[in-house]
Amino acid sequence: MQLGRIIGTVVCTVKNPSLEGKKLLLVQPINRHGKDKGKPLVAVDSVGAGAGETIYWCKGREASYPFAPNEIPTEATIVGIVDVLNVPAQESK
Q: What is the pLDDT of residues 10-51, one digit of tens each?
A: 999 898 998 989 999 999 999 989 999 999 999 999 999 999
* Prediction pTM value: 0.87
Instruction: Enumerate residues 6+ apart whose C-beta is below 8 A from 47.
Output: 55, 78, 79, 80, 81
Going from N- to C-terminal start, the domains of the chain cover 2-74
The three-class DSSP label of residue 59 is strand
The partner residues of 6 in beta bridges, in order of sequence, read: 27
Topology adopted by domain 2-74:
OB fold (Dihydrolipoamide Acetyltransferase, E2P) (2.40.50)
State yes or no: pLDDT of 93 exceeds 60: no
The three-class DSSP label of residue 17 is helix
